[in-house]
Amino acid sequence: MPEVYYSHAIRQALEEEMRRDERVILIGEDIAGYGGAFKLTAGIVEAFGPERVRNTPIAENGFIGVAVGAALTGLRPVAEIMFMDFITLAMDQLVNQAAKFRYQYGPQASVPLVVRCPSGAGRCYGPTHSQSLERYFFSTPGLLVACPATPHDAKGLLKASIRCDDPVIFLESKVLYGTRGEVLEEDYVVPLGQAAVRREGTSVTLIAYSRMVVESLKAAEALSEHNVNAAVIDLRTIAPLDMETVIQSVSETGRAVVVEEGWLTGGVGAEIASRTMEACFDCLQAPVRRVAAADVPVPCAHSLEQAATPDWEDIGRAALATVAY
C-alpha cells in the first residue's frame, strides 16, 4: 500500500465520493479556488465545477443551515468549518435541527450531512482557533462523531460518513494533516462505531481518539522500557462509541487510562471512564484515570500550549501511577 499524507487521504475521499455520487457537494469558506484554510480542496472546483464546490460567506449559522436543507432535499453535502471553534455559531442548526429530523419524521426525512472540522491544538493558533469541541456533539442523540487518527481511517471514515444517512461531525486534527501512513488504493470504508486495537498489552489499557492515539502509542513505547506492556485502543468514533472493544481490553489488563485532547471537566473521557468503571468494576485493579487538557483557554505561546495540552509524557505518567496503584 502506498504511504499517503493524512490531508491527502481526506482529499482522495472527497474526490472519489464526488465521482461516485453526483449528489455529493462541497460548501464552505474559501474552499473553491483558494482551496480552504489548509488547502485540502485546492483544485477540486476545477475538476467538479462551481455548482458542486461552493464558496460561502463567513456565516457558519447560514451555510450549515443551507447544508441541512440541501441534505433534506436529496443532496449529500460536505460542509467545511474553517476551524472547529467556529462551529458554535451553527449549534442550533446541528443540535436542534439536523440531529432531530430522523427521529421526528422517520422514513420521511434523512440528513446525509458531513461537517468537516479541523480541530485541536498543537499549532499555537490561540484560544479561539485551537479547541476540541466534540464534547458538545457526542452526547447529542442523532449526531455521529468520527475522529480518525491515521490516514487510512481518515479516508475510510470520511467515505463512510458521506454515505451515511445521518449527520456526521468529522474531526480532523490539524497536527495530523502532515502525518503519513499506508492507505488502500481500492475503494473501502471504515465502519462508523468500530474501534481498533492499535497495540496489544497486558498491564494497562490506554483509550484514546484522534491525535491522542498517536501520543498514546508513543507513551506505550516508552512504558515498555519500564516493563509496562500497554494496550492502545483507538476509538475512531465517539458516537457511536464502541465500548465492547474497550471493555474486553480493560477486562484483560485490569487498568485503564482514558485520554482526550479536550478539557478535563465534563469531557468525553469522563463518560468513557464512567462506563468503563460500571462495566469492569469487578476486574479493575486500580481507579480509571483520565488524561486531558487543563481547564483553561488554549494558550497561544508554544510553551504554555504544551503545558496546557496532554502529550505522551502525561499519558505515560498516568499509566505508571495506575500500574503502581
Q: How far apart are CA 10 and CA 190, in angstroms?
A: 13
pLDDT per residue as tens digits for the range 17-37: 999 999 999 999 999 989 999
Residue 246: per-residue pLDDT: 98
Q: What is the CATH number of domain 196-324?
A: 3.40.50.920
Residue 274: per-residue pLDDT: 98
Residue 267: per-residue pLDDT: 95
Active-site positions read: 60, 129
Positions of the chain with pLDDT lower than 70, given as ranges: none
pLDDT per residue as tens digits for the range 311-325: 999 999 999 999 999
Ordered by start, the domain boundaries in the chain are 3-182, 196-324
Residue 305: per-residue pLDDT: 97
3-182 and 196-324 share one fold = yes
Q: What is the CATH number of domain 3-182?
A: 3.40.50.970
Residue 1: per-residue pLDDT: 85
Residue 134: per-residue pLDDT: 98
